[in-house]
Structure 1
Amino acid sequence: MSRIGRMPIAIPAGVDVKLDGHVITVKGAKETLTREIHPNMNVTVENGEILVTRPNDDKQNRALHGLTRSLIHNMVVGVTEGFKKELEVQGVGYRVQKQGKDLVMNLGYSHPVTMTEIDGITIECPSANKITISGPDKQKVGQFAAEIREKRPPEPYKGKGIRYANEYVRRKEGKTGAKKK
């Protein structure tokens, strides 16, 4: 039995969970999230808890059991607390700023790189070298953070680029001087 899949998900106060066939809707203070779950998984709401069960021990059902439970748990956490990713920009002359709903980044290219906020995502720039992405959907927050990081990933020689706040960039030693004959 899946250790993660068999754990019940507690429904906090102020969160409303509705099951409509294989579509689960979680409504909370921040937002409403909807997700279609795999038809093999059985989801029940009873006694203020959400339980995910599987019909048998087929390989696919075992794999889906923990996944389904984690996805539903992330929905409950997302509508109550939300998710947040923090990015740091390092490099001389590299800076970011928010202009309306756009994030404008100067990353050493000949032009500024602009990214627009998508639905359900909030971008904040507390300083010229920090970006905070937040929202109720864990997948959207992580994907948007990865797309921003992709614009200038950290390089191993000087460490310049965009990195996650807790990311360690392994540094490499540069070239040694060429020998003269």
Structure 2
Amino acid sequence: MWNTINTCYYNRRKKTVSWGCFFKHFVTNQKNQRRKRIEKRNQRQELRKKGKLTLTSENHNIYYGLNTATGNNSYQSDLCPELTKMRTEFLNHLAEANREKIEKATQLQKESPRWFVERKKQLTASRFGKIYKLQNKTPSGATIAEMINPSFRVNIYTEYGNSREPTAIEEVERKLRIEIKKSGLVVIGENFPFQ
């Protein structure tokens, strides 16, 4: 009789203490991921031994940032004369007076159609990181196409931000006791210190 009771108790306890299928699945995935990481590490080590893979700081940064501009100015040679002329005209058009006009005309931001037009022309801070990391060997057509015709659509997060922005500004003004002025697109001149 005690054997039967102990067996029933053990089976019931085993069911309640069982790790469950989700945990078992998680553990299996972790083991597989660890195995794959070890295999990749071993492959890299073999390639390094054969001399086919070199990891030095010079090789890592050769295609990034200032190295691309100072190493070889291939982007200059790619420009046709017409494009060079258009670029020069565009830069001349962005005189100080025009910059101020753009800033004042785009203060309504998303409610102003001009804001979208002007923003499309500019290299904004949100796009700069993507451009900065472009490599010489990577085709830049897709990146440029995305900048010219952005595919971003309004989502629930941007709607939430747009609807709460006025109250957030009022709250910041009240807490910090400052006045926040509306600002449009600020076009920075050539002499702005990037570095």
Q: Tell me which interval the TM-score lies in, with the shorter structure as reference length.
A: under 0.3
> Which structure is larger by alpha-carbon Rg, 1 or 2?
2
Query: TM-score normalised to the size of structure 1?
Result: 0.21
Would you tell me which structure has more strand in proportion to its own residues? 1
TM value normalised by structure 2: 0.20
